Amino acid sequence: MSGRYADARDRYKTLAENGQSPTTLVIACCDSRAAPELIFDAGPGELFVIRNVANLVPPYEPDGHFHATSAALEFAVQALKVTDIVVMGHGRCGGIRAALDPSSEPLSPGDFIGRWMSLVKDAAEQIGSNDVMTQTERQTALERVSIRNSINNLRTFPEVKALEKEGKIALHGAWFDISTGELWVMDAETRDFIRPDV
């Protein structure tokens, strides 16, 4: 046996026996180029990760429908008792690009992606109509605005809102630039994205 599993065999054995206890939840895009464990240099069991198209968090709506992201969020907050939640977007996101292109057709008659991306429809319309910015600038702007929107939506979950108010959980935004490998973080006060000094 060789490779990553062999290198981490003892860690996996401990995780199997003792369970998981990550303190950080990362909500990331399912894009294969933006893997949170690699970006944060995390080993097995260190991060609890939710991945979906465009790293979106829907608002709190316990309406009887299936909500994978909301269910995983609820588990991370209530069962694992994470202390930090990071919404991590990335550059060149296909879901965000599609949201900015109103002429794009659904991928299928069911169009799950189209309905999912309606979570950023208002922001996409505002940013998409800005003809001063280039297409690349509009895409980067929406990628970052969608992170802020997802953080706002996290605060609609009663448990998250209460824990944040009590100082027991912190919400963070991050944006990964695939082309340079740089991670930008959102300043909690200004909400600007900055590159931290390494």
The CATH code of the domain that includes 47 is 3.40.1050.10
Residue 40 lies inside a defined structural domain of this protein: yes
Residue 12 lies inside a defined structural domain of this protein: no
Residue 8 lies inside a defined structural domain of this protein: no
Q: Which domain holds residue 128?
A: 23-194
Please indicate, yes or no, whether the overall pTM of this predicted structure exceeds 0.85. yes
By CB atoms closer than 10 A (0-12, 13-18, 19+), residue 36 is buried
Residue 87 lies inside a defined structural domain of this protein: yes
Alpha-carbon distance of 6 to 152, in angstroms, equals 41
Residue 110 in this model has a pLDDT that exceeds 80:
no
Q: What is the pLDDT of residues 38-52, one digit of tens each?
A: 999 999 999 999 999
Per-residue pLDDT band for 149 (boundaries 50, 70, 90) equals very high
**Mean pLDDT value of segment 121-143:** 96
Number of domains within the chain: 1
Residue 31 lies inside a defined structural domain of this protein: yes
Per-residue pLDDT band for 36 (boundaries 50, 70, 90) equals very high
Residue 14 lies inside a defined structural domain of this protein: no
Q: What is the pLDDT of residues 3-23, one digit of tens each?
A: 666 778 888 889 999 999 999
Alpha-carbon distance of 24 to 18, in angstroms, equals 18
